[in-house]
């Protein structure tokens, strides 16, 4: 995966077509050259806009990683347990979800729904539990410089510096500079809660943004 200079980040839209549309519009207006959705595009309990959401994601070339709700929707489609979709659309959506990766990697920049491993358990288990313990374990067994993820719905930064891991809140519109001698996990807030983020890869800088001011 090779990304453009400015990457717009969305997470946890949970079946809200409006959140996705508004998030894409906000990030494009802020200069995003590419877009990544960090999982839970869909919601296992919402069926009304499934195909419209899929079309929007494809039309705007949003890259996505699989979240736990996306996985549950994939299973429901496989069991023919999603009413209101014709067979062609069901098969198209199922194929999209089936082939959605669990992790995207761009050199030292990783993108995942939650913990960045190739197991079903990894996108169910949150990184942010209110302590730095899970982040500390992840830093110990991985080699990324920055991990962007979702799942926890709150904007949180975990910083590894000189062997110590801290958990820090990210303020609205705060800009964070990534330094080469540190490592980071950024939990991007939920699009359903009006949150998104922008990663400037050239300047190695992240900014928390509101979808609608």
For the chain, the domains span 6-210
Can you spell out the DSSP letters for 103-117?
EEEETTEEEESSS-S
Coil/strand/helix, residue 17: helix
Residues of the chain with pLDDT under 50: none
Burial 173-205 (b: 16+ CB within 10 A, else e): eeebebeeeebbbbbbbbbbbbbbbbbbbeebe
Superfamily of domain 6-210: Metallo-dependent phosphatases (3.60.21.10)
Q: What is the pLDDT of residue 122?
A: 96
Q: What is the pLDDT of residue 46?
A: 82
Q: How do residues 65-115 score in pLDDT, each as one tens digit?
A: 999 999 999 999 999 888 888 999 999 999 999 999 999 999 899 999 999
Q: What is the pLDDT of residue 83?
A: 84
Q: What is the pLDDT of residue 119?
A: 93
| Structure-block tokens of residue 37 | 């959705």
2 φ, ψ (degrees, to nearest 5): -120, 125
Q: What is the pLDDT of residue 47?
A: 79
Q: What is the pTM of this model?
A: 0.96
Residues 6+ away with beta carbon under 8 Å from 133: none
Q: What is the pLDDT of residue 2?
A: 56
Coil/strand/helix, residue 37: strand
Coil/strand/helix, residue 29: helix
Q: What is the pLDDT of residue 82?
A: 87
DSSP alpha helices (H): ranges in the chain?
Answer: 17-29, 50-59, 68-78, 87-98, 133-141
């Amino acid at each position: 995966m090779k990304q453009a200079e400015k990457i717009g980040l969305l997470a946890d839209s949970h079946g809200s077509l409006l959140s996705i549309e508004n998030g894409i519009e906000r990030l494009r207006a802020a200069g995003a050259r590419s877009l990544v959705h960090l999982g839970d595009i869909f919601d296992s309990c919402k069926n009304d806009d499934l195909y419209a959401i899929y079309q929007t994601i494809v039309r705007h070339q949003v890259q996505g990683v699989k979240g736990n709700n996306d996985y549950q929707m994939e299973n429901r489609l496989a069991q023919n347990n999603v009413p209101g979709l014709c067979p062609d659309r069901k098969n198209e959506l199922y194929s999209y979800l089936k082939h959605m990766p669990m992790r995207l990697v761009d050199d030292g920049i990783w993108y995942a729904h939650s913990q960045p491993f190739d197991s079903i358990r990894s996108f169910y288990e949150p990184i942010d539990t209110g302590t730095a313990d899970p982040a500390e374990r992840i830093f110990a067994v991985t080699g990324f410089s920055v991990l962007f993820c979702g799942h926890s719905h709150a904007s949180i930064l975990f910083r590894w510096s000189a062997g110590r891991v801290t958990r820090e809140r990210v303020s609205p519109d705060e800009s964070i500079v990534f330094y080469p001698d540190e490592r980071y996990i950024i939990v991007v807030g939920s699009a359903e809660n009006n949150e998104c983020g922008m990663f400037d890869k050239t300047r190695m800088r992240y900014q928390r943004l509101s979808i609608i001011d």
